[in-house]
Amino acid sequence: MIPDEQLNLALGEWTSCLSQEHVISAEGLLDRYARSSSASSRRPAAVLKPARTDEVAAIVKIARRHRIPLYPISTGLNWGYGDACAVFPGQVIVDLGRMNRILSIDRELGYAVIEPGVTQAQLAGALAQESVPFWMDCTGASPHSSLIGNILERGFGHTPYGNRLLTISGLEVVLGTGDIVHTGFGHFAEAKPTYVFPYGVGPYIDGLFTQSNFGIVTRAGLWLLPKPEAFRPFLCFFAEDEDFLRCVEPLRELRMQRVLQSVAHVANDLRAISGERSFPRDLVPAGARLPEGVRLGLRRVYGVGAWTLTGALYGPAAQVRLQERLLRRAVSASRARVVVLSERKLGLLERFAPAIERSRLLRRLSPKIRAARSLAGLLSGRPTSAFLRGSYWRRREGIPSDLSDASDPAADGCGILWLTAVLPFRASDVRGMSVALEEVFARYGFDCLATLSMISERALVAIVTIAFDPSEPSEAERAKECYRAGLQRALELGYPPYRVGIDGMDLLGPAEEDAFWNATEALKRALDPDGIIAPGRYQPGVFRGER
Tell me the CATH class for 102-226.
alpha beta
Neighbouring C-beta atoms of residue 153, cutoff 10 Å = 21
- Determine phi and psi for 364, rounding to 5 degrees: -65, -20
**Are 497 and 535 within 8 A, CB to CB?**
no
Full DSSP string of 439-466: HHHHHHTB--EEEEE--SSSEEEEEEEE
| pLDDT tens digits, 391-441 | 999 999 999 988 898 899 999 999 999 999 999 999 999 999 999 999 999
Q: How does residue 20 score in pLDDT terms, banded at 50, 70 and 90?
A: very high
**Are 530 and 536 within 8 A, CB to CB?**
no
pTM: 0.94
- Determine phi and psi for 189, rounding to 5 degrees: -60, 130
Amino acid at 529: P
pLDDT at 547 over 50: no
The fold adopted by the segment(s) 4-98 is 3.30.43
What average pLDDT does this structure show over 456-478?
96
Distance CA 533, CA 531 (A): 6
Query: Which residues neighbour 301 within 8 Å (Cβ) at sequence distance 6 or greater?
Result: none
Q: What is the pLDDT of residue 257?
A: 96
| pLDDT tens digits, 266-295 | 999 999 999 999 999 999 999 999 999 999
**Separation in Å, CA 245 to CA 77, 249, 434, 496:** 34, 8, 11, 21
Q: What is the pLDDT of residue 343?
A: 79
| pLDDT tens digits, 102-137 | 999 999 999 999 999 999 999 999 999 999 999 999
Q: What is the pLDDT of residue 358?
A: 62
Q: How does residue 322 score in pLDDT terms, banded at 50, 70 and 90?
A: very high
Task: Supply the angle between the helices 473-492 and 427-444 in degrees, to the nearest 10.
Answer: 150
Query: Which residues neighbour 139 within 8 Å (Cβ) at sequence distance 6 or greater?
Result: 120, 145, 150, 155, 156, 157, 158, 383
Q: What is the pLDDT of residue 546?
A: 44
Average pLDDT across the chain, whole number: 93
- Residue among 349, 342, 264 nearest 307 (CA): 264
| pLDDT tens digits, 351-379 | 766 666 666 555 555 566 777 888 999 99
**Separation in Å, CA 398 to CA 48, 235, 385:** 35, 26, 16
pLDDT at 167 over 90: yes
Find the DSSP H helices in 19-142.
31-34, 53-66, 120-129
| pLDDT tens digits, 221-263 | 999 999 999 999 999 999 999 999 999 999 999 999 999 999 9
Range from 39-43, 159-163, 322-326, 519-523 carrying the lowest mean pLDDT = 39-43
| pLDDT tens digits, 176-198 | 999 999 999 999 999 999 999 99
Residue 405 DSSP SS3: coil
- Residue among 408, 417, 398, 547 nearest 479 (CA): 417
Q: What is the pLDDT of residue 357?
A: 62
Query: Which residues neighbour 341 within 8 Å (Cβ) at sequence distance 6 or greater?
Result: 232, 233, 234, 349, 372, 376
Vertex 78 angle, CA 434 and 195, to 5°: 100
Beta strand segments in 115-229, E: 134-135, 168-175, 180-182, 215-223, 225-226
| Sign (positive or negative) of CA dihedral 235, 240, 243, 246 | positive
Integer distance in angstroms from the first to the last C-alpha of the chain? Answer: 16
DSSP one-letter code for 165: G
Residues belonging to the chain: 547
- Does domain 229-501 fall under CATH 3.40.462.10? My reply is yes
* Cα radius of gyration (the chain): 23
Beta bridge partners of 266: 309, 452
Distance CA 285, CA 341 (A): 39
| pLDDT tens digits, 489-505 | 999 999 999 999 999 99
Domain positions in the chain:
4-98, 102-226, 229-501, 515-544
Q: How far is CA 377 from the centre of its chain?
A: 17
